[in-house]
Amino acid sequence: MSKAESVAIVGWGHTKFGKLEEQGLEGLLVAAANEALADAGVEAHEIDAIYVATFNAGMSEQDFISSLALQVNEAFRFTPSTRVENACGSGSAAVFQAANLIEAGRARRVLAIGVEKMTHLSSADVGRCLSRASYVPEEGDEGLTFPGIFGVVANKYFQKYGDQSDALAQIAAKNHKNGAVNPLAHMQKDFGYAFCRAESEKNPLVAGPLKRTDCSMISDGAAAIVLCDAETAQSHDKAIALRARAQANDFLPMSRRDVTAFEGPARAWRDGLDMAGVELTDLSLVETHDCFTIAELIQYEAMGLAEAGRGADALADGTVYKDGALPVNPSGGLKAKGHPVGATGVSMHVMAARQLMNDAADMQVKDAKLAGIFNMGGAAVANYLTILERVK
């Protein structure tokens, strides 16, 4: 690995996502971490530090969870463990902090865990918790939950570029079809375009032009990865290099941004591709943050697949489908896989790494060599871009 590829993922774990009534926050965290350690062939005493991602914001009474990671194994006692939080980008924040520590020479192996327990609350209560990732003095005062916030984004985009309901339904149908073959996904059902496009009793309008099939699901789940330096990676059976990573934070208030442009995501994509020394067309697949279908549509433009207002072209020409030039969300994305907030960014890294190891079973994209991961917190506020490449 080159200096730009000085950190590698050498193992991973991933619980099923969904309504997991028998598993609490601690159990999910422990299960994902143990699976990652076993997959990497690493003993707990070989881990130098731990980062745990969770958003929480009131969803769990156990707010101080960094040392819950020590429940994984007694050998973790006295190992530095830190909670990280950056809204829905918390999982990638944990991965980035782990990589930073390794690059600084302060650690050889680091465990990054993402976890969230959400389904024990009502939808209204979850909505209130998630709304704390908005700018409360403005969006909060207007009583906007995140479906409402992205309903505003969709309305503004429609007003500017025309009705995009067909494109949103195509994204929902695509991701549900992909998720139908993901055994870890919350929703493993191919709903089809017609169901996603039509407003119905089972698919009602939720906010603005967004229907139920346009919104990611409230989920429980956890994911974990073991990262190490390039030299240490040589002793492992597999290694997926973090060829590049970039973060770009934008203003929190929506009033200070053009919410139809996703300038923060666009900056993260430009910086990440430049750092990796590759073009978008060099990527084999992308796992992107489709918290709402309108988000994925605008992200096509932010990553450079289409001009502003022309995101639907990437659907019309087949580019983003599993057999297209750049498959987007072959795992089913947040739309079908689920969105346990703190776990999402780590999950994306697991799903992309599995693709590069040719270990994605029915989700597999043919000849996957490079993978892009885009994870964001809030409405395009905390933006993380990772490019992964198999080196072993």
Domains and CATH numbers, the chain: 3-121+218-233 (3.40.47.10)
Which residues, other chains included, contact 181 with Cβ-Cβ below 8 Å and sequence gap of 6+? 188, 361, 362, 363
What is the per-residue pLDDT for 142? 77
Which residues, other chains included, contact 48 with Cβ-Cβ below 8 Å and sequence gap of 6+? 79, 80, 101, 106, 107, 108, 109, 110
d(CA 167, CA 169): 5
Which residues, other chains included, contact 73 with Cβ-Cβ below 8 Å and sequence gap of 6+? 34, 37, 44
- Tokens 């025309």 found at: 162
What is the per-residue pLDDT for 208? 96
Encode 20-46: b = buried (16+ Cβ within 10 Å), e = exposed: beebebbbbbbbbbebbbebbebebeb
CA dihedral 71, 76, 77, 82 (to 10 degrees): -80
What is the per-residue pLDDT for 156? 98
Q: What are phi and psi of 209, to 5 degrees?
A: -85, 0
What is the per-residue pLDDT for 1? 54
**Which residue ranges in the chain fall short of pLDDT 50?**
none
d(CA 186, CA 197): 21
Q: What is the DSSP letter of 294?
A: H
With 0-12 CB in 10 A as exposed, 13-18 as middle and 19+ as buried, what is 73? middle
Residue 53: which of 12, 11, 95, 20 has the closest Cα? 95
Strands 240-249 and 382-390: antiparallel
Return left, alpha or beta for 375; rule: phi > 0 is left, psi -120 to 50 is alpha, else beta.
Answer: beta
- Tokens 């009534």 found at: 21
What is the per-residue pLDDT for 4? 55
Interior CA angle at 358 toward 355 and 360, to 5°? 55
What is the per-residue pLDDT for 355? 98
**What strands, in cross-sheet order, belong to the sheet with 109-116?**
81-84, 49-53, 109-116, 221-229, 7-14, 240-249, 382-390, 370-377, 285-287
Q: What is the DSSP letter of 219?
A: -
Strands 205-207 and 210-211: antiparallel
Which residues, other chains included, contact 19 with Cβ-Cβ below 8 Å and sequence gap of 6+? 119, 186, 219, 220
Which residue type, as a one-letter code, is found at position 390?
A: R
Residues 179, 347: contact at Cβ < 8 Å? no
Report, as residue numbers or ranges, the catalytic residues.
Answer: 88, 339
